[in-house]
């Protein structure tokens, strides 16, 4: 493609409609969402060049939190300053949040209906297959040395056998990566950054609004005073929200506890939503008892069917947890709504702060092996954690009763078929879940 004139300036109004559309159709997980943004922003609209797009993606992959959401915030911020970043992030998240709140209400109000149970019976084995496939794909990309393979195995044993807390595993992996990056750098070298469109970077491209050699806008340059102000503003918003919750219901009220718990979870989501799910399970199911293990599985199944980041499952956890612990006289739907909004606020606020405050700082440190090695080690540990998550989910789906010998072979067959469809035939997540839901309905009518 020959070089052409760059497109005209993009107005905030035009960006608004694009980000809203993306938020409504962003199925397929982070890989699919990033591919959608690449196809639209790089190839069709030419708002940003290939190299600048990948540069932004590298920033987001270094940070905890949903990388696709952060990429949208970053590009919106680069185009239209802080207002553009906030707008892009909110429009990317709000459709998913709204849909999941509605599904959570239907689940709590009508989840015991036979048809709903049949659909979930078909979907749950697909969820197990999705987690296994995600672990396999991340492992193939990440476990490129014996040290990283051993680290993944240790993480699996740590959480599945020793029941170590997920934050401890993350910190331990980071420490080992820091040491390994200095002593055995070749063992902890990060894999090449994935390209949304392999082979396109080296080809001549049409001029983009933000091109390879476009000067960095003033608002995107590193400024320590601005970084400090943004961090303080974000911290103030989080503390003020928690203070209001504590004032209204007390420090030990479920909403106050959710705020603290999901605020910490937001800082541990290296490797995506699947990686932090064991931590969410440990806290929400085992420690606080906001929901049961079966409800957690159902929530993940519902989260897979909605647009936006999978970590939005926190809204389901908040809705169900607040519904189940609602005070006397408080409408259940209102309690659930408050729980979903609180968890979403404290989960996604850090992503906005990371981008609006720290993107220029991350750019200045990109390419430094001593900083990338701990993140590579965390990614390796995440593979082991995801494998343990698949084992945990499989145990609850395939052995639903207390008898270890009572294996549900039909569920095993559904999961195996779903895994084959994902890895061999690359069937999309939505098509897979829809097919499995229909299979669950059909099976419910068989004798």
For 360-390, write each residue's pLDDT tens digit: 776 555 455 566 778 778 878 878 887 887 8
Tally the domains of the chain.
1
Residue 65 included in any domain: no
Residue 323: predicted pLDDT: 95
Residue 140 included in any domain: yes
Residue 146 included in any domain: yes
Residue 101: predicted pLDDT: 95
Residue 165: predicted pLDDT: 76
Residue 47 included in any domain: no
* Cross-strand bridge partners of residue 89: none
Q: What are phi and psi of 45, to 5 degrees?
A: -85, -25
Q: Which residues of 44-59 are buried (b: 16+ CB within 10 A; e: fewer)?
A: eebbbbbebbbbbbbb
Instruction: Classify residue 427 as exposed, middle or buried by CB count within 10 Å of its CB (0-12, 13-18, 19+).
Output: middle
Residue 362: predicted pLDDT: 62
In whole angstroms, give the CA distance from residue 362 to residue 225: 16
Kindly give, in sequence order, each residue whose CB lies less than 8 Å from that of residue 154, ignoring residues fewer than 6 positions away. Answer: 381, 384
Mapped onto helix, strand or coil, the DSSP state of residue 250 is coil
- DSSP label of 210: B
**Chain position carrying tokens 């609602």:** 326
Kindly give, in sequence order, each residue whose CB lies less than 8 Å from that of residue 179, ignoring residues fewer than 6 positions away. Answer: none
In whole angstroms, give the CA distance from residue 76 to residue 80: 6
Residue 87: predicted pLDDT: 97
Confidence (pTM) = 0.76
Residue 109 included in any domain: yes
Q: What are phi and psi of 210, to 5 degrees?
A: -110, 95
Residue 325 included in any domain: yes
Residue 417 included in any domain: yes
Mapped onto helix, strand or coil, the DSSP state of residue 234 is helix
Q: Are 267 and 350 in contact (CB under 8 A)?
A: yes
The C-alpha angle 391, 316, 414, rounded to 5 degrees, equals 40
- How many other β-carbons are positioned within 10 Å of the β-carbon of residue 31? 15
Boundaries of domain holding 379: 97-191+223-444
Long-range contacts of 419-424 (CB under 8 A, 24+ apart): 419/129, 419/132, 419/133, 421/129, 422/129, 422/130, 422/133, 423/133, 423/136
Query: Which parts of the chain register pLDDT below 70?
Result: 1-4, 27-29, 31-32, 58, 61-62, 112-113, 190-205, 270-272, 362-371, 401-405, 447
Residue 418 included in any domain: yes
């Amino acid at each position: 493609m020959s070089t052409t004139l760059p497109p005209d300036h993009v107005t905030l109004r035009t960006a608004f409609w694009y980000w809203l559309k993306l938020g409504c159709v962003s199925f397929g997980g982070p890989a699919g969402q990033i591919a959608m943004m690449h196809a639209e922003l790089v190839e069709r609209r030419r708002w940003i060049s290939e190299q600048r797009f990948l540069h932004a993606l590298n920033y987001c992959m270094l940070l905890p939190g949903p990388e696709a959401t952060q990429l949208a915030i970053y590009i919106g911020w680069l185009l239209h300053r802080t207002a553009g970043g906030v707008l892009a992030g909110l429009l990317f998240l709000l459709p998913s949040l709204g849909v999941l709140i509605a599904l959570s209400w239907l689940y709590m109000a009508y989840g015991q209906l036979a048809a709903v149970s049949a659909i979930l019976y078909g979907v749950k084995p697909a969820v197990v297959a999705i987690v296994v496939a995600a672990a396999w794909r991340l492992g193939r990309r990440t476990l490129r040395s014996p040290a990283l393979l051993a680290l993944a195995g240790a993480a699996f044993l740590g959480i599945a056998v020793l029941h170590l807390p997920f934050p401890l595993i993350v910190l331990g992996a980071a420490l080992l990566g820091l040491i390994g990056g200095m002593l055995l750098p070749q063992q902890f070298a990060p894999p090449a950054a994935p390209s949304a469109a392999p082979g396109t970077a080296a080809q001549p491209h049409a001029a983009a609004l933000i091109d390879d050699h476009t000067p960095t806008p003033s608002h995107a340059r590193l400024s320590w005073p601005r970084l400090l102000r943004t961090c303080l503003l974000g911290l103030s918003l989080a503390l003020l929200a928690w203070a209001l919750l504590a004032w209204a219901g007390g420090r030990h009220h479920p909403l106050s506890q959710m705020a603290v718990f999901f605020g910490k979870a937001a800082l541990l989501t290296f490797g995506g939503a699947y990686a932090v799910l064991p931590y969410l399970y440990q806290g929400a199911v085992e420690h606080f008892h906001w929901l049961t293990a079966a409800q957690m599985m159902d929530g993940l199944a519902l989260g897979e069917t909605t647009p936006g980041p999978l970590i939005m499952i926190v809204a389901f956890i908040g809705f169900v947890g607040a519904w189940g612990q609602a005070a006397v006289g408080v409408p259940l739907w209102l309690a659930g709504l408050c729980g979903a909004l609180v968890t979403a606020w404290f989960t996604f606020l850090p992503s906005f702060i990371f981008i609006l405050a720290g993107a220029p700082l991350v750019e200045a440190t990109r390419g430094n092996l001593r900083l990338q090695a701990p993140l590579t080690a965390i990614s390796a540990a995440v593979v082991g954690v995801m494998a343990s998550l698949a084992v945990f989910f499989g145990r609850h789906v395939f052995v639903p009763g207390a008898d270890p010998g009572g294996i549900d072979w039909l569920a095993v067959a559904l999961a195996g078929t779903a895994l084959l469809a994902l890895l061999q035939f690359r069937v999309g997540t939505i098509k897979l879940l829809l097919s499995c839901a229909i299979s669950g309905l059909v099976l419910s009518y068989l004798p």
